[in-house]
Structure 1
Amino acid sequence: MTSIFAVTDNQDILDLKPRLTAEDAGVRRIALIDLADLEEPDGLVWLVDRLGSDTSEEVRVEAARLLEAWEDEAVVQALCEALTDPSPAVQSAAAQSLSLLKTEAAGRVILPWAVHADVAVRIAAFRALRELRFADAAPAAVAALNDANASVRREAVGVLGWLKQLNALPALARLASDDPNTDVRRAATGALGLASSAEVLPALRQALQDDAWQVREEAATTLGKVGHIDAGPALVEALSDDYWQVRLRATRSLGRLHFAPALDALIDTLGHRISNLRKEAALALGELNDRGAVAALQAVQDDGDPEVRKAVRIALSQLQ
């Protein structure tokens, strides 16, 4: 463990040598922290070496964690290799550090790992690539939409959503409608909001009928983001959903769309037993800019929930 010190003449690093090479793993781990605090490039060599070869899991975990702030290509490669470490804790620490990288150069190193044979490695690679918004990752992400593993598909959807890949809309629409995994359908439904395109409306309307309420909730939200008035009738229908979470998102989206035909349904929602829904209904009525809502809003000015009363005041001010 000592030959690596030949690469440096930095006295601060050399002074740490006794602890960095100690028998006790706990001593070595603390010494690594002190080494990282020096923020000396020569110290990277030791951190990378310990990540790949220390016999102690806790030391390797610490090395992976400490390397999160370094964009050096050798560091990124070492973190990628640590994704295959026998220890799940080391894998997790390496994946977390990779997700915090910011440079395009890091993306080029990570990208080949997106097709690794190990599922966990592919997941971590796509998660890191998503945070980097690395445009060259788009083809790999599109291919991964057909991955056998649902978590990989979900992370690939995330990459495409962040990159706003319009050419991926048909594939995302297919996943939103047909993927057997609820989390994948939900992610794909959300990603359809990457463009204000009417072509996604059929898939979003179908998602609004999904068996899983989480997918319906995401569809109601995304329809508001897409911003097409043609989504209005489906959102009004969603105000009768069995789950209040879906109703809430539909209410919010109807306000965003300024969908005037929703007036009566939103007024009815002012009387819902759940205060969050009453609040959203009041805000949506204000956004409709229809004075037909004034009397109904005035009737609930003394609602028992202060947040609802505040929303009513806001709505009435908009309708003056």
Structure 2
Amino acid sequence: MSTVFHDPELQDIAQRLQDNDGEVRRIAILDLADLAGDEHAALLVAALRDPVPTVREEAARALEAFESSDSVAGLVALLTDEDAGVREAAAHSLSELKLPESAALLLPHAGHADAFVRASVLRALRELKAPESIVPALAALHDAHASVRREAVAVAGYLKHPEALPALTALAIGDPDAEVRRAAAGALGFAGSGSVDGVLSALLSGLNDDAWQVREEAATTLGKLQRQEAGPPLVAALQDHYWQVRLRAARALGRLRHRDALPALVETLAHPAANLRKEAALALGEIRDAAALPALEHALQDPDPEVRKSARLAVEQIRSA
């Protein structure tokens, strides 16, 4: 027996959701998603079991805006749906969960036999930052599937769990998947300036990784750790073939206030990429060496307004120091 709603518009949608035509039901889901209020969430949850994949997909996507034990359970069930679009929509909506209590509904599935389910559950757990998520995440750091390892790295990084550091260090150096290495290099940022030398060695090794994305992430994390030993390798990274790596290296050198970087940063003020010139100016301002003033004053005439603004700020920093 159908539920009767007092709202005429909602009642109309509920009736269309019973239509024999799957396309009519799909459109009804779209209309339902446009309505504000939690009273109709049960209709979306029920639609997760619709026989037509496109209806299930729209319902899964619409549940991104709602969160309850029923919706979470329904979305988790769709992670093994026969239709790829349905599975992806369910995984996305789960990644938008915000209530900490939802973690309890996800954790039992973190060790699922299907790699897509494991990865999707870990991605959802990352946002919830539930302390108990570290147990499956530590195990998943050694998963055979790169997609699962990437999500496990993110969970461990969000939770900033010291026990994960050895595994993250190993992944940053030797994982066969470049995206896993990049994610691990980024996650090592929680180690802090007093971190073990193994972390520093892994990040310095990352500056020479074959993948520029890993080199970029390693440079960023080295700036966060603020270990002065990273200065010379970061100066060398200012000559990287990719300007994105140079940009992160310049930013890191500014955070380190590494004075020996001054000549290379001044040279970078002439690089064709405006974003890189801007970052070099900001780094020189952080270093606060008066020897950089002539180059920065010249940069005040740069054709890019953001570079001029950064150069002006840098000049003010140096002069005030």
Using the size of structure 1 for normalisation, the TM-score is 0.91
Shift of 1:138: 0.7
**Counterpart in 2 of 1:21?**
18
Structure 1 gaps of 5+ residues are none
The one-letter code of the counterpart of 1:146 is H
Q: Report runs of 4+ in structure 1 exceeding 6 Å deviation.
A: none
Shift of 1:82: 0.7
**Counterpart in 2 of 1:231?**
230
Q: Report the Cα distance in structure 1 between the residues aligned to 2:56 and 2:104, rounded to whole angstroms.
A: 24
Q: Report the Cα distance in structure 2 between the residues aligned to 1:310 and 1:18, rounded to whole angstroms.
A: 60
**Counterpart in 2 of 1:273?**
272
Question: For each residue in 1:79-107, what CA deviation from the matched residue of structure 2 results, as whole angstroms up to 9, or x when unmatched?
Answer: 10011111111111111111111112211
Distance 1:59 1:293, change over 3 A: same
Question: 2:74 matched to 1:78?
Answer: yes
Equivalences for 1:277-288 in 2 at 5 Å? Answer: 277-288=276-287
Question: 2:308 matched to 1:312?
Answer: no
Shift of 1:45: 4.0
129, 139, 146: which is aligned to 1:150?
Answer: 146
Q: Paired residues, what number?
A: 313
CA contact (8 A) 1:283 1:312 kept: yes
Q: Report the Cα distance in structure 1 between the residues aligned to 2:19 and 2:300, rounded to whole angstroms.
A: 70
**Counterpart in 2 of 1:62?**
58
Report the 3-state secondary structure (helix = DSSP H, G, I; strand = E; otherwise coil) of the residue aligned with 2:75: helix
Q: Report the Cα distance in structure 1 between the residues aligned to 2:239 and 2:30, rounded to whole angstroms.
A: 56
Shift of 1:136: 1.1
Structure 2 gaps of 5+ residues are none
Question: For each residue in 1:22-69, what CA deviation from the matched residue of structure 2 results, as whole angstroms up to 9, or x when unmatched?
Answer: 11112222334555637354x4444323212x1211211122122223
The one-letter code of the counterpart of 1:271 is A
106, 109, 114: which is aligned to 1:110?
Answer: 106
**Counterpart in 2 of 1:254?**
253
Percent identical among aligned pairs is 54
Give me the CA root mean square deviation: 2.0
**Counterpart in 1 of 2:212?**
213
Equivalences for 1:290-305 in 2 at 5 Å? Answer: 290-305=289-304
Equivalences for 1:28-43 in 2 at 5 Å? Answer: 28-34=25-31, 37=35, 39=37, 41=39, 43=40
CA contact (8 A) 2:14 2:43 kept: no
Using the size of structure 2 for normalisation, the TM-score is 0.91
Question: 2:119 matched to 1:123?
Answer: yes
CA contact (8 A) 2:38 2:66 kept: no
Bigger shift: 295-304 or 12-21?
12-21
Shift of 1:70: 2.8
Bigger shift: 309-318 or 293-302?
293-302
The one-letter code of the counterpart of 2:264 is A
The one-letter code of the counterpart of 1:304 is P
Q: Report the Cα distance in structure 1 between the residues aligned to 2:13 and 2:272, rounded to whole angstroms.
A: 64
